[in-house]
Structure 1
């Protein structure tokens, strides 16, 4: 379906997964390229639309669709789990399919209807070697030489996971940007603070690379669950409680599966006049 047919400007959708919100631009029928400048302008919650990530849907010869993700600062993100689930739900509703293959920079991800209005996606096998995360030099990713003894994990994007006694007491605004730009992470990093509630439940608070504090994050939830399991603090299947709600993470042999709700909030159109201000 051409979402721009007969409509001036640029059509978009607003979606969220547990308050982790996205602008989605569907380019399967064509349309202008999405640039970092457009992503930054759209991401401004006062002068644009506002989002945690921007997702672009394109056609793909060997998958149901190809997805590209931008952070609010205009930088590219290789993975965005909640946006992948939201778009998968949109495409499954559109086509009537129960499962999809979606190409991302992370590779081709499998998404499925999990029943009860929930959608799950396989975020792929976690990357545990230092050069896969990536880190700046060779080291044990299970115990980084950073105060607080965090764990490094790659989920197609880099993660730094701290285990704390009280996640609510963490000063995210101060610590998030400090660790995002830590010199051990040449591509910057997402930062997670995890409180282990039981062998099958964790509390998670999130600072996303290029965006800041978010209510939820799929890749961060996966990385936190993997880090907790590697440390022996939980099993490989856990409930993750984020600020925006609950995700179920299951680290299987074929990858890390994430299940949760999605919401398609509204459709809109960026005006020609606003687009022209971008040059």
Structure 2
């Protein structure tokens, strides 16, 4: 699309997963996939993993829309949600495409109640009915993933060494597999102890990222549900650590840092 009116933005990150956050609660900012891609471009735009648009909500303190770097929409983003918590301050509730979530700003970070995970095949969603606790599929050494929806879809693979997996090659193959009609986030995790795991994520629409909050949530839930770990679980990502707490039948609570880098104004995007 042609460039729109100038807009102010915040550059923020959670564990290196970086965002352009536009607060459009008082002055509307037109946004679509093409403009989001242009803003996210690291050579000719501002550069980010996701663009986050804050707008007024009739049912919560704000409405949040997440755009991936490729312009596609994401239902949820855990690291960005902590950044939003820092911007809004105190306790707040925000409306997302994945549901209403609760935020609590805490010091230099935040705790986010991400809601309850979903396990039904059609809630992931998958292309056909199958047991989401052990999907009977494989891509090279990655096999038998667990599928979880935590506001967006995730496939989790538990492996002996997450660093040994060629995620840059296998991630896009799995993301775009016909089994996942809305594509999928791909997580490879190694259990280090019942309360600690290492994780790398190929993020749907963004690729390899230093951290993925919803991936940490989905992987911790999968580890707890399958008996590999106990709540709370520390999830170590390339960009840092998150703490995930969940009990079956309850909601997921994610705690971790969020950083405000700078505020700017963009023209010609």
TM normalised by structure 2 equals 0.94
Counterpart-to-counterpart distance in 1, 2:109 and 2:12: 14
User: Would you identify which runs of 4 or more consecutive aligned residues in structure 1 move more than 2 Å?
Assistant: none
Residue in structure 2 matched with residue 186 of structure 1 by the alignment = 181
Per-residue CA distance 1:218-265 (angstroms, 9 max, x = gap): 111000001111211001320000000000000144311100000010
Counterpart-to-counterpart distance in 2, 1:51 and 1:42: 8
How far is the alpha carbon of 1:270 from its aligned partner?
1.1
Counterpart-to-counterpart distance in 1, 2:129 and 2:228: 25
Residue in structure 1 matched with residue 127 of structure 2 by the alignment = 136
Which of 194, 205, 214 is the equivalent residue of 1:219?
A: 214
Q: Size of the alignment, in residue pairs?
A: 260
Gaps of 5+ in 2: none
Instruction: Answer yes or no: is 1:266 the counterpart of 2:257.
Output: no
Per-residue CA distance 1:60-92 (angstroms, 9 max, x = gap): 123111100000110000000110110111110
Instruction: Answer yes or no: is 1:257 the counterpart of 2:257.
Output: no
Cα pair 2:50 2:68 within 8 Å, conserved? yes
Which of 225, 228, 235 is the equivalent residue of 1:233?
A: 228
* Aligned counterparts, 1:203-214, within 5 A: 203-214=198-209
Instruction: Answer yes or no: is 1:165 the counterpart of 2:163.
Output: no
Residue in structure 2 matched with residue 110 of structure 1 by the alignment = 102
* Aligned counterparts, 1:189-200, within 5 A: 189-200=184-195
Per-residue CA distance 1:160-192 (angstroms, 9 max, x = gap): 100000011111110110111111100000000
- SS of the residue 2:9 aligns to: strand
Gaps of 5+ in 1: 1-7, 93-97
TM normalised by structure 1 equals 0.91
Residue in structure 2 matched with residue 4 of structure 1 by the alignment = none
Residue in structure 2 matched with residue 48 of structure 1 by the alignment = 45
How far is the alpha carbon of 1:200 from its aligned partner?
0.1
How far is the alpha carbon of 1:110 from its aligned partner?
0.7
Which of 14, 28, 31 is the equivalent residue of 1:31?
A: 28
Residue in structure 2 matched with residue 14 of structure 1 by the alignment = 11
Counterpart-to-counterpart distance in 2, 1:111 and 1:29: 21
Cα pair 2:82 2:105 within 8 Å, conserved? no
How far is the alpha carbon of 1:134 from its aligned partner?
0.5
Instruction: Answer yes or no: is 1:243 the counterpart of 2:238.
Output: yes
- SS of the residue 1:194 aligns to: strand
Residue in structure 2 matched with residue 87 of structure 1 by the alignment = 84
How far is the alpha carbon of 1:111 from its aligned partner?
0.8
Counterpart-to-counterpart distance in 1, 2:163 and 2:115: 29
